[in-house]
Structure 1
Amino acid sequence: MTGAKVYPTFGDHEWDAQYKHLYDQRQQTIHNQEHTSASLQNSHEQIIKKAVCLALEKTKSEWGEPPAHFAFFLMGSGGRFEQSFWSDQDHGLVFDSSIEEDEAYFLHLGGDIVYALEKVGYERCDGKVMASNPKWCCSYAKWEEQLKSWLHEDKWETLRYTLTFVDSRSIIGKHEMVEQLKQTLFKMISSQPYLLRRLTENTGKIKKGLGLFNQLLVETKGKHKGKFDFKQIVLFPYVNGLRLLAIEQEILSTSTIERFQQLPSRYEQFKQLQLSFEQLLEHRLLWQKEIERYEKIHHLSLEQLSPDERKQLKSWVREGRQLYQNIERLLQRVN
């Protein structure tokens, strides 16, 4: 007869030692190796999964086995396979139970996951988009109601939450739950076309990147003064535009590159920019390789760029803005 499973009875120090070991592994595999964007995403994925599994073992050692099926999912750059060398946490949990005690279990698990990822080098999300937050750690039924509520409220904040969830990608657990929630969300939006227009308006403000004399515009104040906001000006027009098309076409894939690939042929004008976006991601790694802290990862020092690199950067600024504006015009015409 098989006995009950015995979990490690580590104290906090022993768990922290395991997280420190994983942090050292992260340094070796992410920061001390040459990477393409694809290989970097793979390295992040391995580290994150190991950290989450450690957190799950810690929760099990204190609370026992998970009381229901669940899925842990990434959002943000992790959900889209677009992380740079440093990134913060954007994630959530969904579980197949509506029992209050079970919710307490998964919120505790979410807290352990946040702690583990922080120890491993992923900073906490300033907006608290993490599985320790009840808004992002819900039963399947509550997630369905919450998604409906976000759309029904039709506020800037709730539409922003909706767009964030569209980039959700399950990496541990019962992946089907996340896919089913996204399909439900797509159906809700499809049945009320005005919602797609509202989501388009939510992401429509593109930060200006070029000045009157075709110069790259840098931050004029704050902690990034003198630096160029690569994330907002260059990356986001592509990311936000393709996310909107993914909603319209009900594409479950979260990667911007896969969203390009899965667009129908009638969107050839958009599809042909996939290669440009891929090159953008590769150049980003070259330019950000020496950055040692998350808070600096999204801003570039233009002095480090050659004249040809600046020229290319300007091309991406114009191309991304035009891409988004074309998508915006297309979706504003949706009935």
Structure 2
Amino acid sequence: MEKVIRLLKSIVPFRSLDEAVLREVGTEMYFKEFPAGVYVFRQGDPSQNLLYIVIEGTAEVTVRSGRGMETVVGYRRKNDFFGETVVLTDQKYPGSVRAKEDLTCLVVPRKIFERLMHHYPDVADFFSRVLLDRMRTLYEEIVAEQAHAVHGRGAEALFRRRVKELMSSPVITCRLGDPVSRVARVMADRNISAVIVVDGDGRPVGIVTERDLVAELIARPVKKVEECRVETVMKPELVTIAASVYLHEALLKMIKYGVKHLAVMEDGRLAGIISVVDLVKARGTGTFWVAHRIESQQTIAGLSEVGREVDNFLNALVAEKAGAREIMDIMSELNDALTRRVIALCEQEMRERYGPPPVDYCWVTMGSAGRREQTLRTDQDNAIIYDDPEDAETVEAADYFHRLGIKITDALVRCGFAECPGGVMSAYPEWCQSLAQWKERVQRWIFRGEPEDVRMLTILLDFRLVYGTETLAEKLWRAVFQTLKARGGAPHFMAGDDVHLRPPLSLFGGFVTERSGKHKNQINLKTAACLPIVNCVRIFALKYGLTETSTLGRLRLLAGMGAMPRDDIEFIEAAYETLMMFRIRSNLAKLDRNETPDDYINPFELSKREQAVLKDAFSVIPRLQKRTAGEFGEFWRLYLPS
């Protein structure tokens, strides 16, 4: 016993435990010896439910390929662990461990390991980090391999280089009150396309570009050039970005705000400037030019053609070694840009035929698009919220926006976004309503809580503004949270929508697949794996009053609010990104075979390594569901796995 206590006191994370705890658990630990060359366990064996700690000697970790070739992939030496991932995930062993030389291990039975994980956060955090690191490593390897398969050796600039590596610095600036003629000479002499305007304290307050000079001084001159000052031509809406972020985030901002220059900030000061030309040099042009093509289209037919380019761009992103998070961000921005242009053209047609909108309105998207997770153009989930009209104009307003909703929905279909089979579209009156009507529906759904109410509420609560008056969306969110508060807090009843969602792993760590039909031996990654995570994270977001709708964005904000341990959130994020990357890869492969993308995957066609990382990702589901059950009371325990 004393030897066990002494050893545990020298090993992270056990050394953080009190001696009384070590004595209690140490009685059920034991030593086991393995002669050189003997296997502790073999790849594919069921779990022994034991954690091994090396005390003396060396163990080697091996992996057997599909052809039967065994390769050493790592070693475990004194105070190292092995077997922890299988104990944590209930899987079969993804590799083998054998004694390279005579080996002595301290063995920790699973029931002791789980007790320590449950009661002592330091132990739980340490081993969660172990599993997270393994998943991230495998995920990055799979991303790299997929990039090579799609496009050979992909360029990584957008996703591996930071803004500060490419920005122009020091920045050429001018001050308020400077003559425009002087600024023009500086731009010509320095061969630059923009100058940042700063105030007396050196803070950036605007930007002057070549286009501004041409537009203000040549195309529509209002005074002599020599009389013009900087404030006459500058744009005060200066878009900034942090020096530390990756280049793809600069690209996203340029698309979102329709600009070609960003002021780069570091530690609260102006550090540089980055332009679309800089991204051209970094091979980051495709996304920007697709967005530019979208904005320049004057017809729905033209947008339909560009829409196909948006889908094709997904392959390019994979080839550039973009991760799932970056792919979702960029594809969402492009789909949003396409949708906004569709709405603008439809609104223009309505103005020409029926006049301007009778009241302010906004158009919101829901479902995977609302969560910024729609990588391919799939079916629509959208709605219109319009401001409350005067009583005498109620019928007129409803008719106007119903016509607009039909027009937008039809145009989106022409642009590749299929109709929603469930009719969740602004073309239908129940999804095209005034703010007051929306508030009334939300109250009914939350207070009544029937299964259909829960389903409708779940759909709505991923809504995100794409076009129109932002305050209307904000007011609806406020109504949601006020109603939840009046009902007594987070909607426990929403658990009912999650009853059938179980992780696709058996008790013995094998894959649970469809048993018959066209998808026999396959798993639907969206419904079986992603949606359980989406649903649980949404509940936490509601409790903490978050209007963010993306799953990864919600997790980031929840981490900042201390809603869950940061290590747990990082584990969930890694699992979700992994699942999304498998979905993206599978759907692209089906497109290449002229098949319809459907989120199904056959896990038995994956490599051993891919199967291991997929199982690691699946293992987060019951852990998150248990945490949700603990957070939201006994009702959840009726529906979530124990």
TM-score bracket relative to the smaller structure: 0.7 to 0.9
Shift of 1:178: 1.2
> Which region of structure 1 is more displaced relative to structure 2, 38-47 or 86-95?
38-47
Shift of 1:210: 1.6
1:98-148 CA deviation, whole Å, 9 max, x = no partner? Answer: 411110110111111110111111111111111111111100111111111
2:299 match: secondary structure: helix
Shift of 1:92: 0.2
1:274 match: secondary structure: helix
Shift of 1:261: 1.1
User: Does residue 146 of structure 1 match 2:441?
Assistant: yes
Please show how residues 132-143 of structure 1 align to structure 2 within 5 Å.
Answer: 132-143=427-438
1:71 match: secondary structure: strand
Q: Which residue number corresponds to residue 355 of structure 2?
A: 64
Distance 1:176 1:294 in 2: 42
Q: Which residue number corresponds to residue 373 of structure 2?
A: 82
Q: Is the 8 A contact 2:555 2:573 kept in 1?
A: yes
Number of residue pairs matched?
Answer: 318
Shift of 1:222: 4.2
Shift of 1:229: 0.6
Distance 1:41 1:313, change over 3 A: same
1:291 match: secondary structure: helix
Distance 1:224 1:50 in 2: 37
User: Does residue 319 of structure 1 match 2:601?
Assistant: no
Shift of 1:18: 3.2
User: Does residue 27 of structure 1 match 2:302?
Assistant: no
Q: Which residue number corresponds to residue 562 of structure 2?
A: 265
Shift of 1:294: 9.1
Q: Which residue number corresponds to residue 231 of structure 1?
A: 526
Shift of 1:299: 1.3
2:465 match: secondary structure: strand
Q: Which residue number corresponds to residue 302 of structure 1?
A: 603
Distance 2:533 2:396 in 1: 42
Shift of 1:57: 2.4
Residue 189 of structure 1, aligned match among 476, 480, 484: 484
Please show how residues 5-20 of structure 1 align to structure 2 within 5 Å.
Answer: 18-20=299-301
TM-score (norm 1): 0.87
Residue 285 of structure 1, aligned match among 576, 584, 590: 584
Q: Which residue number corresponds to residue 9 of structure 1?
A: none
> Which region of structure 1 is more displaced relative to structure 2, 34-43 or 96-105?
34-43
Distance 1:180 1:97, change over 3 A: closer
TM-score (norm 2): 0.47
Q: Which residue number corresponds to residue 164 of structure 1?
A: 459
User: Does residue 114 of structure 1 match 2:396?
Assistant: no
Shift of 1:221: 3.5
2:343 match: secondary structure: helix
Distance 1:51 1:324, change over 3 A: farther
1:228-252 CA deviation, whole Å, 9 max, x = no partner? Answer: 1100112112111110001111101
1:261 match: secondary structure: helix
Distance 1:156 1:311 in 2: 36
Q: Which residue number corresponds to residue 328 of structure 1?
A: 629
**Which residue identity is paired with 2:363?**
F
Structure 2 residue runs of 5 or longer lacking an equivalent are: 1-297, 318-326, 636-642
- Higher strand residue share: 2
Q: Is the 8 A contact 2:359 2:386 kept in 1?
A: yes
2:564 match: secondary structure: helix
Shift of 1:195: 6.0
Shift of 1:223: 4.3
Distance 1:124 1:138 in 2: 19
Residue 95 of structure 1, aligned match among 361, 383, 386: 386
Percent identity of equivalent pairs = 23
Residue 496 of structure 2, aligned match among 201, 206, 227: 201
Distance 2:538 2:473 in 1: 17
Structure possessing the higher relative contact order (Cα contacts under 8 Å, 6 or more residues apart):
1
1:73 match: secondary structure: strand
Distance 1:133 1:105 in 2: 13
> Which region of structure 1 is more displaced relative to structure 2, 83-92 or 190-199?
190-199
User: Does residue 42 of structure 1 match 2:333?
Assistant: yes
**Which residue identity is paired with 2:583?**
R
How well do the aligned residues superpose, as a CA RMSD in angstroms? 2.3
Q: Is the 8 A contact 1:30 1:43 kept in 2?
A: no
Structure 1 residue runs of 5 or longer lacking an equivalent are: 1-16
> Which region of structure 1 is more displaced relative to structure 2, 207-216 or 322-331?
207-216
**Which residue identity is paired with 1:330?**
E
Distance 1:119 1:226, change over 3 A: farther
Shift of 1:214: 2.5
User: Does residue 129 of structure 1 match 2:424?
Assistant: yes
The structure number with the bigger radius of gyration is: 2
Q: Which residue number corresponds to residue 8 of structure 1?
A: none
Shift of 1:211: 2.8
Distance 1:78 1:268 in 2: 28
Q: Which residue number corresponds to residue 85 of structure 2?
A: none
Q: Is the 8 A contact 1:37 1:282 kept in 2?
A: no
Shift of 1:325: 2.8
Distance 1:329 1:284 in 2: 30
